[in-house]
Structure formats: structure tokens, C-alpha cells
Amino acid sequence: MEAQYIYIGLAAVFGIFMAWGIGANDVANAMATSVGSKALTIRQAILVAAVFEFLGAVLAGGAVTTTIRKGIVDATLLSDTPELLIYGMLAALLAAGTWLFIASRNGWPVSTTHSIVGAIVGFAAVGIGIDAVQWNKVVEIVMSWVGSPLLAGVIAYLIFTSVQRLILRHDDPLAQAKRYVPVYMFLAAFTMTLVTILKGLKHVGLNISLTGSYILAMAIALVVALIGAFVIRRIQPDKKLDRKQHFYTVERVFAVLMVVTACSMAFAHGSNDVANAIGPLAAVVSVAHTGVIGAESALPIWVLVLGGAGIVIGLATYGRHVIATVGHKITQLTPSRGFAAELAAATTIVIASGTGIPISTTHTLVGAVLGVGLARGIEAIDLRVVSRVFISWVVTIPAGALLAILFFTIFKAVLP
């Protein structure tokens, strides 16, 4: 009985640490374009993330979560030794949290999903056996390193090129912005609503069909576009600042749009990625209580609150490092460029959700920022920063695996 409380206590501590890492790294990615383009200040971004990430995690984070993320490990092989699963999940949480701490400190935007995947692969290979790992799933994830940033980059390039042609290169860019930005608002609201419905609301018990999801997203997008058009019409040019900074008023129009995209990205992200922290935590709580390894485990609300709180604290205390990399160092962002990147990232997530391609929010957003930079020419991108980011992506799964092996060995020797 005493061991049960030790397991749950450690799982809660390591789960908060992992959620903190998600906040410091992954949420910082989601907010970086808004901060880098100066649409939001760092304080406003933390406030937006605090509200919407927490709501996403608690309201839509999942009434039920699979004990082992993504079906990477065959859990039935541990049915006779459930304590090994507990040691493994504790090791995975601590390993992924540690790697995210190291990456966040260095300003590397890495994938929290890949951190936990690497950690689970490490413990499974050593604790159960190489055959227990579903290697085809691992290969799929490695393929997504290339696929998701490439797709997001191409979409972002196309979106920002269209902004340049339709608005920025005209004699009267403000008139063009007032004409076309409501169209972009419709696209952004449609895509973001679809992301939220497909990724964020699947666990709330709202069983909306795919056709229903599209109709609802279009209706909401139309309302947002009409409200946006009304607000934009009222924006008057600031001739003094427009002389100093050519597109000042036009960028103000895009800044309004970016606040909307930031809120919805935060909600969708909170609902989806909190599972990286609470999936293993839920597994430990379930096995510690029942002593049986089940395919699924009921999720107590305190676990979701814990995950949501950890994410917010991580962003507030340590998120600035990754925000600096994605928002400032890769390429210079303005609200119109940041909007193109966020819309491209959201579109890629929708495509991936619909087709079942494994995807990383981080890789998608970084790819989108690169696409926006390339639309202005290769010299607009800091290639040294990009190379460091790519190296950190490749290292993430092996780093998670090695740390998990180390912690698993320690827990096996020390814990009851």
C-alpha cells in the first residue's frame, strides 16, 4: 500500500516536471510568432497561453487516454510484472522532462512528443526487450521530421507570397489590406476552428461528424470574417508612423488577426499535447491502484489540472529562450509574416489530423517560419540557427532513450 503512494507521488512530481517542459518548449513555440512579430508582448502571450492552454488541457485534454502513447510498446508483455511498467513510465516522464529542460535552456525548439516517444522506446528496449518496440511506429515518427516542416514551409511560402502580391506590393496597401484581410481571417478562423474541433474536442463527448465539423467551422469563420471586416474598416492610417515604417497601419490590421490565431492555437495545443505529460502519469496511477495493466485508463480531473498548471508555469518561467529562437533568431517576423506562419502550421495540422500522418507541432511551426523567411530570399534566414535546431531534432529521440534507460535502471534498483 505504501509503495502505491510512492509511485503516484513520484508520477505526479515527474508529470508536473514534464508538463513544465512542454510549457517551456512547445507552448513557447506556439506563442513565438505572436511575440516575435510584436502582435503580443511576452506578458500578453503568457496571459493568452495561461488561459487557453489551461482551458484546452482541462476541458478537452481527454476523459480517457491510452496508457502508452501512440502504441509504441506492446504492454501485454508486462502483464506479469506491472511494476516494470510503473518504473518505465516514471523513467520516461523524468527523461523527457530532463531533455526538455536542457533543450529549453539552450533555446532549442524540440518536439515534446518525440522526447516522450524516445524515452518510452529506451525503457521498453531495455526493460522488456527490443521486440516489444513497435519499430514501424518509430520509423513513421522519424519520417515526420521531414514531412511536417516541409509541408508547413511550402504552405507558409505560398500564403506569404500571396500577401506580398495582393497587399504589400500595391500603391495603396491599406486599401488592399481592408479588402483581402477579411478573406485571410475567414481562412484562419476556418482552419483554427477545424484544428480545435478535430484535435481539441474529440475527448469532450461532442461527437461531431466530419461533415458537421466542416459546416460548423465555416459558420464560425464567416462570423469572424464579418466582425474582422467591421473592425478593420475602422482602422485609420497613421501617416506619421507610415512614413517612418512603410507598412505600419497594414501590419496593425494583421496584428488583430494574430491575437485570434494565438488564442485558438493555444487551446488546440493544450488539448492535444498535455497527453504527453499525463499519458504516462495516468498509466502509473491506473497500475498503482489496480495492479493490472489495461489498454486504457480513466483520467482523474486532478491529473488534467496538474498538466494544465505545469504547462502554464513552464511558459511563464522558462519560455523566453525558445520564443527568442523561433520568434527572432530564425528570421525577422512582422504580424503579416507571423500570421502566414501560424496559418500554415494550423493548415498542416488539419491535413495531418485528417490523414493520420504523425506530426510535431514544433517541427511544423519552425518549418512554417522558414517558409516565410524563404519568401523573402535565403539571405533572410539565419542558417546557423537553423542548423542547430535541426541537430537538436535528430538528437531528441536518442537523448530521451538514453536518459530513460539510466533512470529506469536506477528506479528498478531503488524503488520497492
372-412 confidence digits (pLDDT tens): 988 887 888 888 888 988 898 889 989 999 999 999 999 98
pLDDT value at position 407? Answer: 94
Task: Please state, in angstroms and rounded to a whole number, the distance separating the CA atoms of residues 143 and 135.
Answer: 12
| DSSP conformational letter for 77 | G
Q: Judge residue 218's burial from the number of C-beta atoms within 10 Å of its C-beta, 0-12 exposed, 13-18 middle, 19 or more buried.
A: middle
Mean local confidence (pLDDT), 37-58: 82
- On the question of pLDDT at 138 being above 70, the answer is yes
Q: What is the mean pLDDT of residues 191-202?
A: 69
What's the pLDDT at 292?
A: 59
Question: Does the structure show a pLDDT above 80 at 101?
Answer: yes
Parallel/antiparallel/unpaired status of strands 64-66 and 296-298 = antiparallel
Contact yes or no for 40/31 (Cβ under 8 A): yes
The H-assigned helical ranges of 196-295 are 210-233, 239-244, 248-290
Q: Please state the rounded mean pLDDT for residues 144-151.
A: 82
Reading the block at residue 168, the C-alpha cell is: 504589400
Distance of CA 38 to the CA centre of its chain: 20
Q: Is the pLDDT of residue 358 over 90?
A: no
Weakest mean pLDDT among 152-166, 251-265, 280-294: 280-294
User: Residue 291 pLDDT > 70, yes or no?
Assistant: no
pLDDT over threshold 80, residue 81: no
d(CA 231, CA 113) in angstroms, rounded, equals 38
Mean pLDDT of 286-310: 68
Identify which of 91-100, 247-256, 284-293, 341-350 has the greatest average pLDDT.
Answer: 91-100
Contact between 198 and 354 (Cβ < 8 Å): yes
Q: What is the per-residue pLDDT for 338?
A: 87
Please tell me the predicted confidence (pLDDT) of residue 275. 67
Percentage of the chain surpassing pLDDT 90? 10
Task: Give the H or E element holding residue 296.
Answer: strand 296-298
C-alpha cell at 324: 527568442
pTM: 0.81
Question: Would you say 260 and 188 are in contact if contact means Cβ atoms under 8 Å apart?
Answer: yes
Sign of CA dihedral 74, 77, 80, 86: negative
Residue showing cell 488564442: 263
Q: Are 247 and 173 in contact (CB under 8 A)?
A: yes
Q: Which domain holds residue 52?
A: 2-414
- Looking at residue 69, its pLDDT comes to 46
| pLDDT attached to residue 252 | 80
Q: How many domains does the chain have?
A: 1
On the question of pLDDT at 119 being above 80, the answer is yes
The whole-number pLDDT of residue 361 equals 77
Residue 174: how many other CB atoms lie within 10 Å? 20
pLDDT of residue 94: 93
- Give CA–CA dist 26/33, Å, rounded: 13
pLDDT of residue 294: 55
Q: What is the mean pLDDT of residues 213-241?
A: 85
In this prediction, residue 200 has a pLDDT band, given cuts at 50, 70 and 90, of low
200: number of Cβ within 10 Å: 23
Q: In 56-89, which positions are buried (b, 16+ CB within 10 angstroms) versus exposed (e)?
A: bbbbbbbeebbbbbbebbebebbeeebbbbbbbb
CA distance 15 to 313: 13
181-190, 247-256, 274-283, range with the lowest pLDDT: 274-283
Single-letter amino acid code for the residue at 76: T
On the question of pLDDT at 99 being above 90, the answer is yes
Provide the pLDDT for residue 400: 92
Grid cell, residue 345, equals 502550421
